[in-house]
Structures are given as C-alpha cells and as structure tokens.
Amino acid sequence: MEIITSHLFDWLILLILLGGALYTMKVIGQEKSTFRQDSYEVRFGNLSLMIPNWWTLTEQSEACLKFERTDTRYDWFSLFTYFPDDEGKELPLILEEKLNLERLEFDPEVVFETDSRVLFRDDQIQEKFQEVIRVEGMATQNIVDRVYYDIYLMRGLNDRGYFIFESRSSVLNGSLEGPYFEESLSELSFILES
C-alpha cells in the first residue's frame, strides 16, 4: 500500500493513459461497424466507391484519385488509378514492375488473393473483374523503410486497361486505415445509369 500512496501521481497518470487508450479503441471499433453510414460515394469512371468521411480527396483526375487523412498526422494515403494498356501485359508482370519501381519488397508471409468472389461483395463487380491480384502486408521500401502496403490490380473483361488501387502507410497506421481501405473496395459497385 505504501508503494501506491508514495507514487500516487504516477498511478494517476497511468490510469489516465489507460482510459484514453480504451476510449480510442472503442471509437475505432465503432467506426468499422458504422462504415456504410459514415461514408460518402465517390465516382471513378463507371465505378462507385464508398469512402470514409475522414478521408480527404487531395488529388483528382479522370484516371486517378488520391485520398489522405488531413485531420491527423497519419503517414497514410490511398491511390485509385486506371491505366489504359495498349500492350496487354499480364497482371503478375504489372505487379512485379510496380513493386520494382516503388522499390518495395513484401515480407515472406504476406497474403496474396486472386479470387474476386472473396474480395468484392457486388455480383456484377465479381463477374466483371475476374482477373484480380491483391497483395497485403508489411514490406520494406528502399531497403530501410518499413511500410504497410495493400494493393489491388484488376482488369475487367474485354478491357485491356487495368486498375491499381493501393494503400500505403507506416506499419502502425496501416492497421488503422487498412481495414477501411479494404472495406471501401469490398463495397465497390457499378454506377447505375437512370
């Protein structure tokens, strides 16, 4: 008991920090469960993306969208890009070239996924994008920088062009924004013409 009373100020600081951490975990946990209602639609070509309210669109063109967190100092961004491809390269080759260009090397235990039925909820998206590669996990960039990187490469049926959707962050921030990036792409759908 003497230890507690002699270090009362230290214990108080520890309890405040633990309370703050628990509150933060609660808020983050609720964000994922309310994703749909806390998101807005962004159109990208004929695709509809659900984007969390806290992502800010920082760059936009016909072929590229870039989102960042401007409300925090997170080391994170996501890019949604379309590339017209006259050469008809295979997606594995495109992925290899992209990783070499970015000087990224994934850790051996990263997850590779190629089944559109696992990646997307919308039946039309699953049918249209049967050629898909997704790689997610920790990687090393420029030999020394540790990053969390999630990349989707997709090519539609009868389309020589391809999409690259990517999320890049520091290792810690990847665990915060990564699930929302994944959820945004799970919710991908086509814009219904009226």
Ordered by start, the domain boundaries in the chain are: 1-33, 40-190
Q: Quickly state the pLDDT bin for 117 (edges 50, 70, 90).
A: confident
| CA 36/CA 165 separation, integer angstroms | 20
Residue type, 54: W
Spelled out in words, what is the top-level CATH class assigned to the domain 40-190? alpha beta
Q: Give the mean pLDDT of 126-131.
A: 89
Question: In this model, does residue 32 exceed pLDDT 80?
Answer: no
Q: pTM value?
A: 0.79
How far does Cα 121 stand from its chain's mean position? 16
Question: In this model, does residue 167 exceed pLDDT 90?
Answer: yes
Judge whether 149 and 137 are in contact, CB under 8 Å.
yes
